[in-house]
Chains A and B, each alone.
Chain A
């Protein structure tokens, strides 16, 4: 059969370039993850010279920052090309410029991690001080992603101009919203990195204000998780309905939920800083309330997804409350992987309520419970949805087929990931409740019975982590097969259509300026006074500390 690509092959090449980096990151990051769980089980020590925290930095940077960013941009590039149309040569050139900036940035940052000059973990909290080129490399990644964002905006804008008065394609709209969220979030990161951290690490200024740096980081850090999540929601809202043969429940409500996610995900960083000195508890509480407002779009999303499942089930003859369950295409990995992601996300969301609670946070803050939490959200809900997208997107845009054999492997992959995660995340949650800290190498501490009680959970984490490692390697194998060896042919690029009875989309959703303005108003409201307090009452700054992370 002749290869039939579902998008312009030149656009497909751009997306695939992003995916190569993403899946190389999965391979290396998962290997680092395996080493970590083995070390923490207490049964394995790393060969001389390799530090646990260096491996941990590799794991966090590659999986949380590199894999996600590259996959998301590649995915959004492809959906934009599919739904708004192919890029102009100029747009595509900017896309490649963004890609190479990001890739070179990753190479620079990775070099300094491997040299042991940047064991600061992916959160790089000052005053731990890595080599300046590490920060510069990461800056290049972020700036490159902005360039890609503007390509997405421009393609969307061109569609609007070519189709005046019409509602924009839903996936194209969602891609734009995701990149808006990313750009607004990055303002905090860019400020601390460019204004504070880089000049300080270069020795141009002697000290850094730690609290302001952390606050700017967490202004970025929470919307960062929504930057991971929104592309998964794109797949849940628009792709999955088509995969199961159904319709999108409501275009208008899908857009509304994306708007609400942008509004409520940004002015909330303090819920990561609940136990920190220097921030008045009133403002912490205010941001806790704003954090909880995401419950509204989250419940809307859950409703829309299950409404789609049920409507499709009934179309196929299902009756009763749960009859639709038996009509779902469980043997189709394009559905099963994201569906399992949704299931895990429900558990992850419940845990998130604990983390963000003003008081309960004290029980779990910085324990391995938190690690267990985000391995359910980004590490399962988002990751499995991205895997589920990979199963069809890669063959679809490269003119290949997802064969029944690969589909079967993809189902096994989903099971491996699910089972591994139940063990690993489950025992992380349990050990966290007992007080076991996150981000720590193996230790028996003072040998007291309380810390020794954590050890069996660490064995269980190693079991789960090993199964997850196998799942990751299988995923890399499936990706390589789909990209290079799968038979040539045509694979559907599933884009859902809206249910006939759904509401018309109010044009106000297309008014990006309005939503950006409201977002900034909320940010100003939630952050201005605490920021003034921090600046006015600032203690003497901190010099950089390098020897503690093994630098000279």
Chain B
């Protein structure tokens, strides 16, 4: 089938852009390790509270400026331990580890790249570094029922 000369140029440009794009994304994913949250570990959704680490939700320091935040989501609450406001020093890297006890929830630290889905039966994890002080709101971004918009917690990054 014949293509007009300009159309050939146009499509070559498009295919070139396509290759550049998918290679960039591929290098970022497989060479630099920038994969989306895709934890493959499962958990019994009916026994989340009895399963480690979710039997003790909350913040744990695991190294110098390295933290883990274990989160148990349920309609319409994030259990992030005894304090509803989590505090970490500026420059901290937090590995968020979450699951849900009931329906599907979102987990997003607004203003950061930490964003993942929490689905019953699965654990999910995402990591982010916080270099700017301030209060970051953790919001549910997947519809989970009538109180969806009331589901939040706060992460405070302090100097």
CA distance A278 to B11 in the complex (A): 36
Whether B129 sits at the interface, judged by CB under 8 Å, is: no
List, in ascending order, chain A residues with CB within 8 A of B35's CB. 281, 284, 358
User: Which residue from chain A places its CB closest to the CB of B33 in the assembled complex?
Assistant: A281
Select the residue from A210, A293, A296 with max chain B CB neighbours within 10 A.
A210
* A446 and B154 within 8 A (CB): yes
Whether B140 sits at the interface, judged by CB under 8 Å, is: yes
CA distance A549 to B146 in the complex (A): 5
* B117 and A276 within 8 A (CB): yes
Complex interface residues of chain A between 277 and 293 (CB less than 8 A to chain B): 277-281, 284-285, 288-289, 292-293
List, in ascending order, chain A residues with CB within 8 A of B146's CB. 51, 53, 119, 548-550
Complex interface residues of chain A between 511 and 552 (CB less than 8 A to chain B): 533, 537-542, 545, 548-550
List, in ascending order, chain B residues with CB within 8 A of A367's CB. 108, 141
Complex interface residues of chain A between 347 and 376 (CB less than 8 A to chain B): 353, 357-359, 361-363, 365-367
Interface window among B2-10, B55-63, B65-73: B2-10
List, in ascending order, chain B residues with CB within 8 A of A292's CB. 18, 21-22
Whether B75 sits at the interface, judged by CB under 8 Å, is: yes
* B1 and A445 within 8 A (CB): no
List, in ascending order, chain B residues with CB within 8 A of A540's CB. 44-46, 121
What are 18 of the A-B contact pairs (CB < 8 Å)?
A: A128-B103, A209-B121, A275-B124, A277-B124, A278-B38, A278-B39, A278-B122, A285-B29, A357-B25, A358-B25, A435-B137, A446-B137, A450-B110, A503-B1, A506-B1, A539-B43, A539-B45, A541-B121
* A277 and B40 within 8 A (CB): yes
* A548 and B29 within 8 A (CB): no
User: Which residue from chain A places its CB closest to the CB of B3 in the assembled complex?
Assistant: A253
User: Which residue from chain B places its CB closest to the CB of A442 in the assembled complex?
Assistant: B149
CA distance A540 to B38 in the complex (A): 18
Interface window among A97-105, A167-175, A299-307, A320-328: A299-307
Task: Tally A residues with Cβ within 8 Å of B.
Answer: 74
CA distance A273 to B1 in the complex (A): 37
Select the residue from A438, A442, A506 with max chain B CB neighbours within 10 A.
A438
Whether A211 sits at the interface, judged by CB under 8 Å, is: yes
Q: Which of A121, A284, A506 contacts B143 (CB 8 A)?
A: A121
10 extra A-B contacts, CB within 8 A, seeds A211-B121, A280-B38, A449-B134: A127-B103, A276-B38, A277-B41, A278-B119, A292-B18, A362-B126, A437-B139, A451-B152, A539-B122, A550-B145
* B145 and A281 within 8 A (CB): no
Task: Tally B residues with Cβ within 8 Å of A.
Answer: 72
Complex interface residues of chain A between 214 and 264 (CB less than 8 A to chain B): 214, 252-253, 256
Complex interface residues of chain A between 430 and 445 (CB less than 8 A to chain B): 434-443, 445
Known: A53-B146, A545-B103. A277 touches B29 (CB 8 A): no
Select the residue from B11, B29, B46, B145 with max chain A CB neighbours within 10 A.
B145
User: Closest approach, in angstroms, between the C-beta of A64 and any C-beta of chain B?
Assistant: 15
Q: Which of B28, B30, B40 contacts A278 (CB 8 A)?
A: B40
User: Closest approach, in angstroms, between the C-beta of B88 and any C-beta of chain A?
Assistant: 15
Whether A88 sits at the interface, judged by CB under 8 Å, is: no
Known: A281-B35, A303-B7, A450-B111. A210 touches B119 (CB 8 A): yes
* B18 and A295 within 8 A (CB): yes
List, in ascending order, chain A residues with CB within 8 A of B115's CB. 275, 362-363, 365-366
List, in ascending order, chain B residues with CB within 8 A of A357's CB. 25
CA distance A277 to B123 in the complex (A): 7
Known: A358-B28, A450-B111. A439 touches B38 (CB 8 A): no
Whether B104 sits at the interface, judged by CB under 8 Å, is: yes
* A542 and B120 within 8 A (CB): yes
List, in ascending order, chain A residues with CB within 8 A of B42's CB. 278, 537-539
List, in ascending order, chain B residues with CB within 8 A of A358's CB. 25, 28-29, 34-36
* B137 and A448 within 8 A (CB): yes
Q: Which of A125, A275, A299, A366 contacts B10 (CB 8 A)?
A: A299
List, in ascending order, chain B residues with CB within 8 A of A450's CB. 110-111, 134-137
CA distance A273 to B35 in the complex (A): 13
List, in ascending order, chain A residues with CB within 8 A of B76's CB. 548
CA distance A442 to B26 in the complex (A): 38
List, in ascending order, chain B residues with CB within 8 A of A438's CB. 141
CA distance A41 to B153 in the complex (A): 22
